Amino acid sequence: MKVAVSACLVGKNTKYNGGNNYNEAVMKYLLDKEYVTICPEVIGGLPTPRIPSERKGNKVINKIGEDVTINFFDGAQKEIEKLLKESINIIIVKEKSPSCGYKQIYDGTFTNTLTEGNGVFVDLALQNGFIIYTEKDIEKMVD
């Protein structure tokens, strides 16, 4: 089985603040699997570190009010094209991210408030038939 995973979950420093979201359970789950990493924000041309962004409907705006929608959608499209070529069906994503979040994301007000919804990349992944797990799902599976 071939899996894709948010790069920050396996310790790559792609997070907006230059750090990562290394996750022990995800690493354990991937031990006997072939996997590729994705980071739609970096592939979409944003620097690391970068100003944090939140999704607001079909737009993505960063904390200083710049519209970064094009970077998010372009990066999502490029990563999906890569995964379709690699015959991947499962993607493990970082929860709550404006790109990689699944079912819950921050609401665009930068007040730490969650709302129902997916990140830009996950929306596109679901439209293309991929199965999505967050790191929290993997933590329950691995325990």
Which residues are at the interface with ligand SF4 (CB under 6 A)?
Answer: 6-8, 14-15, 39-41, 94, 97, 99-100
CB of 37 to ligand SF4, least distance (A): 8
Separation between Cα atoms, residue 123 and residue 73, nearest integer Å: 10
Q: Token pair of 3, please? A: 């899996």
Closest CB to ligand SF4 among residues 33, 105: 105
Q: Which of 78, 75, 92, 5 is nearest to 40 (CA)?
A: 75
Q: Which residues contact 1 (CB under 8 A, 6 or more apart)?
A: 33, 34, 89, 90
CB of 135 to ligand SF4, least distance (A): 10
Closest CB to ligand SF4 among residues 8, 83: 8
Separation between Cα atoms, residue 3 and residue 114, nearest integer Å: 27
CB of 53 to ligand SF4, least distance (A): 10
CB of 10 to ligand SF4, least distance (A): 9
Closest CB to ligand SF4 among residues 84, 122: 122
CA atoms within 13 A of residue 85's CA, in its CB half-sphere: 7
Closest CB to ligand SF4 among residues 41, 54: 41
Separation between Cα atoms, residue 27 and residue 11, nearest integer Å: 9
CB of 58 to ligand SF4, least distance (A): 17
Closest CB to ligand SF4 among residues 3, 7: 7
